[in-house]
Every structure is written in structure tokens, then in C-alpha cells.
Amino acid sequence: MILYNVTINVSAAIEQDFIKWMKDVHIPEIMETGIFYDYKFLRLLHDSDDGSVNYATQYFTDTIEQMMNYEKSHAPALRAKTQERYQDKAIAFRTLLETV
């Protein structure tokens, strides 16, 4: 199993819009690619000095080949939508993990 984790630091000013957009638009678009079979959308439980909040979305797929297909065929356009909508108010950090 491959876990694709996207952690996003979100400005408090856009937090509610971000949550709604993730649930109603962004996550469904990623799931519609057919690459991932499940996901979890989580809020990190810690305080930030600047008042921002952090969310992690974990997407699950079976193989690294499927993940590389997502990176090549789908990720650039989906990331561009997020960047266009939130600019520097939502900064993403991505990690790729494999079960051992």
C-alpha cells in the first residue's frame, strides 16, 4: 500500500472556506481520478504561533506505479487549482509512504 499524505498549513482567515472546498470539490476531484481507493481528511491537533491551522489529507493507492501516474497525469492541474484559489494562504507539504 502507498500512502500519499498532503499536509497544508491554512490561514485562519480562510479555514472554513478551505474545509468546504476540500470536502465538496478538491477531494472528490482527486478521488475521481480512480488512482486512490480511500482517503482521510484530518486536522492536526496543535497550536500554531501565527494562528494558522494544519490539515492532512491521506490518500491510499496500491502501487507506486499508480502514484506516479497520478503525479504525471493529474497532480499538476489539481495543484494549480489550489494555488490559484488560495495562493500563500494554504501552503502544502507532501510525503509519500509505503507499508513495510
65: CATH: 3.30.70.100
Residues belonging to the chain: 100
For the chain, the C-alpha Rg in angstroms (whole number) is 14
Number of independent structural domains in the chain: 1
Convert the pLDDT of each residue in 42-67 to its tens digit. 999 987 889 999 999 999 999 999 99
Residue 45 phi, psi (nearest 5): -100, 80
The confidence score (pLDDT) of residue 38 equals: 98
Nearest to 67 by CA among 42, 32, 28, 33: 33
- pLDDT < 50: residue spans in the chain: none
Global pTM reads 0.94
Domain with 73, as residue range(s), is 2-98
